[in-house]
Amino acid sequence: MFLAKKIIASLLQPLPLSLIVALLGLYLLWLGRHQKLGKFCIGLALIMVFGFSTPFASNHLIRSLEQQYPSILDAKAYHSVKYIVVLGGGHAVNEATPISSHLSSSTLKRLVEGLRLQRALAGPGQLQDTKVILSGGAVFDQHHEADTMASIAIALGFPSHQIIIEKRARDTSSQAVEIAKLLGEQRFFLVTSAAHMPRSMLLIQNQGLKPIAAPTDFHAGEAQWKDPTSFLPNSRHLKKSERAIHEYLGQWWAQLAL
């Protein structure tokens, strides 16, 4: 089921889906019996690629996800929180490169935000033993994402005794189950990408947990009206659209599974 979800979600991303529609159109044209439908499919595929690669679609899609939970800019009001959970968001270990390059940009931002919150909670007169739980297992390789995050945190001077590693979970739904085993009814900060937060909160709250959303890794932006090139399609906006659609599909799947 895990592998099937990964494959289906990948095929429904804008670029693969557009290619599938375009190939269908070419096949219909090759048959020669459905010329109009074939041309329509090819035109639709081009429109899809163009639309999802512009800031109009990408920012609209991802902004509706990222604005659901506010950032935690000042953690002083949460001085009683003892745990910070950081969800992994991708990594690739290469022994020939420094560990700082082993995490995806999203995971690195999540890790930094988790460490920042811990430092804020461990200020003068506040809890000194706030723990950071790093969650992420091995998906398609032998390295566990939580171990990679922990290695970077320790290399940056963060004390190892304040880190709890959870490396059994391979996706967000299994992370929710494993976190429930660790924390039960205790309140905690949940750190993940802003676009990923709505799905994470849905799955984690369904386990009876009490998370406090602490989103980071924001991607929605405003179009630069004075720069005409910002309205041209590019891979950055396509990636942003893919990120948003991945989350919408994940939410839909999570709601079906509940």
pLDDT band (50, 70, 90) for residue 68: very high
Q: How many CB atoms lie within 10 A of CB 231?
A: 14
Give tens-digit pLDDT for 24-38: 999 999 987 888 999
DSSP reduced 3-state for 165: strand
Residue 227 resides in a domain? no
Do residues 128 and 240 share a domain?
no
Do residues 83 and 208 share a domain?
yes
Do residues 11 and 133 share a domain?
no
Residue 225 resides in a domain? no
Do residues 29 and 122 share a domain?
no
Do residues 46 and 80 share a domain?
no
Residue carrying the six token digits 């924001």: 218
Question: What local confidence, expressed as pLDDT, does residue 124 receive?
Answer: 58
DSSP reduced 3-state for 70: coil
Has residue 241 got a pLDDT over 70? yes
Give tens-digit pLDDT for 142-194: 788 889 999 999 999 998 999 999 988 888 899 999 999 999 889 999 999 99
CA-based nearest residue to 106, from 246, 239, 218: 218
* Average pLDDT along the chain: 88
Residue 222 resides in a domain? no
Residue 224 resides in a domain? no
Do residues 93 and 26 share a domain?
no
Give tens-digit pLDDT for 119-147: 888 765 554 678 999 998 877 777 888 89
Do residues 172 and 57 share a domain?
no
Residue 190 resides in a domain? yes
Residue 178 resides in a domain? yes
More confident residue, 139 or 102: 102
Structural domain total, the chain = 2
Do residues 47 and 122 share a domain?
no
Question: What local confidence, expressed as pLDDT, does residue 103 receive?
Answer: 87
Q: What is the CATH number of the domain that holds 174?
A: 3.40.50.620
Do residues 152 and 183 share a domain?
yes
CA-based nearest residue to 222, from 53, 51, 55: 55
The parent domain of residue 119 ranges over: 71-216
Least confident of 24-33, 196-205, 226-235: 226-235
More confident residue, 131 or 229: 131
Do residues 80 and 101 share a domain?
yes
Q: How many CB atoms lie within 10 A of CB 69?
A: 18
Question: What local confidence, expressed as pLDDT, does residue 99 receive?
Answer: 85
- How far is 158 from 150, CA to CA, in rounded Å? 9
pLDDT band (50, 70, 90) for residue 238: very high
Residue 223 resides in a domain? no
Do residues 60 and 75 share a domain?
no
Q: How many helices (H) and strands (E) does the chain have?
A: 9, 5
Question: What local confidence, expressed as pLDDT, does residue 48 receive?
Answer: 93
Report whether 90 contacts 139 (CB < 8 A). Answer: no
Do residues 61 and 80 share a domain?
no
104 contacts: CB under 8 Å, gap ≥ 6: 89, 90, 91, 92
Question: What local confidence, expressed as pLDDT, does residue 234 receive?
Answer: 86
Residue 228 resides in a domain? no
Provide the residue type at 188 as one letter.
F
Give tens-digit pLDDT for 47-65: 999 999 988 888 889 999 9
